[in-house]
């Protein structure tokens, strides 16, 4: 190999190579940390919405998620309620509140409300709600306590590693089907055994070549 430093180079010059190395490593670590910090992941960051819709207030009334997210059990897409759903109640309740003006405007003009997406997978990823709901994965496992959120925010990164954490060991997260919409559900002490039983009951094929197959999500 060729000589990097001339024999007359002093200690400072030699040290510079170490410093350059450290700067490069430092930069990469910073980038890596940024993508994992809320700045990159947007976890816990609430989005501006045309109407400050609060799941907290509406879930307190005991409305089921499916009243608004109608297709969550049948489709890849959970569904966002049409203006009509809001007007079912808000033609009477708060009918003259100014914060609800965009809703009434949409109802009058026929122009849709435009909500800002909170959870947004890249277009090259296939995700499907109905299979997860059908196999006993609850909303709160992925979305957190939505019923306590004044403005909707993300609870998890939705990074590939996060999906795989569960696809590798779904027995840690699976719950009885009648608890899927139960926001307050927490795993029981013996989740390890119960989980395995439930997976058997739901006929989940946990073989790694299936649950971790790239083609499952990238098709």
Of 112, 117, 204, 114, nearest to 166 by C-alpha is 204
80 binds other proteins (CB under 8 A): yes
Determine the Cα–Cα distance for residues 106 and 112; give it in Å rounded to an integer.
Answer: 6
Tell me which of ligand HEC, other proteins, none is bound by residue 110, counting a contact when its beta carbon lies within the kind-specific cut-off of 5 to 8 angstroms. other proteins
Q: What b-and-e string marks burial along 175-202, b requiring 16 or more CB atoms within 10 Å of the CB?
A: bebeebbebeeeeeeebeebbeebbeee
Binds ligand HEC by CB under 6 A, chosen from 42, 121, 177, 191: 121
106 binds other proteins (CB under 8 A): yes
Nearest distance from residue 14's CB to ligand HEC, in Å?
Answer: 38
Determine the Cα–Cα distance for residues 182 and 60; give it in Å rounded to an integer.
Answer: 13
Tell me which of other proteins, ligand HEC, none is bound by residue 52, counting a contact when its beta carbon lies within the kind-specific cut-off of 5 to 8 angstroms. ligand HEC
Tell me which of ligand HEC, other proteins, none is bound by residue 142, counting a contact when its beta carbon lies within the kind-specific cut-off of 5 to 8 angstroms. ligand HEC
Binds other proteins by CB under 8 A, chosen from 53, 55, 104, 113: 113
In contact, 70 and 119? CB cutoff 8 Å: no
158 binds other proteins (CB under 8 A): no
- Comparing CB distances to other proteins, the nearer of 152 and 195 is 152
Determine the Cα–Cα distance for residues 202 and 212; give it in Å rounded to an integer.
Answer: 18
- Comparing CB distances to other proteins, the nearer of 192 and 216 is 216
Two tokens, residue 29: 């670590």
Determine the Cα–Cα distance for residues 92 and 88; give it in Å rounded to an integer.
Answer: 8
Residues forming contacts to other proteins in the complex (CB under 8 A) are 31, 40, 70-71, 74-77, 79-84, 106-107, 110-117, 120, 122
């Amino acid at each position: 190999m060729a000589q990097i430093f001339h024999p007359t180079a002093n200690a400072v010059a030699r040290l510079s190579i170490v410093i350059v190395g450290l700067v490069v490593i430092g930069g990469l670590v910073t980038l890596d940390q940024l993508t994992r910090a809320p700045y990159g992941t947007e976890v816990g960051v609430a989005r501006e919405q045309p109407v400050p819709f609060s799941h907290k207030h509406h879930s307190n009334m005991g409305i089921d998620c499916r009243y608004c997210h109608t297709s969550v059990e049948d489709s890849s897409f959970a569904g966002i309620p049409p203006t009509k759903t809001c007007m079912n109640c808000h033609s009477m309740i708060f009918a003259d509140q100014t914060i609800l003006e965009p809703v009434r405007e949409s109802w009058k003009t026929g122009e849709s409300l435009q909500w800002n997406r909170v959870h947004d997978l890249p277009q090259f990823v296939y995700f499907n709600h109905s299979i997860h709901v059908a196999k006993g994965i609850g909303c709160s496992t992925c979305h957190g306590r939505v019923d306590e959120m004044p403005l909707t925010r993300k609870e998890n990164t939705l990074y590939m590693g996060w999906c795989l954490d569960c696809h590798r060991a779904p027995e840690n997260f699976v719950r009885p089907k009648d608890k899927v919409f139960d926001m307050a559900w927490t795993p029981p002490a013996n989740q390890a055994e119960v989980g395995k039983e439930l997976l058997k009951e739901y006929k989940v094929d946990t073989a790694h070549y299936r649950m971790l197959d790239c083609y499952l999500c990238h098709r």
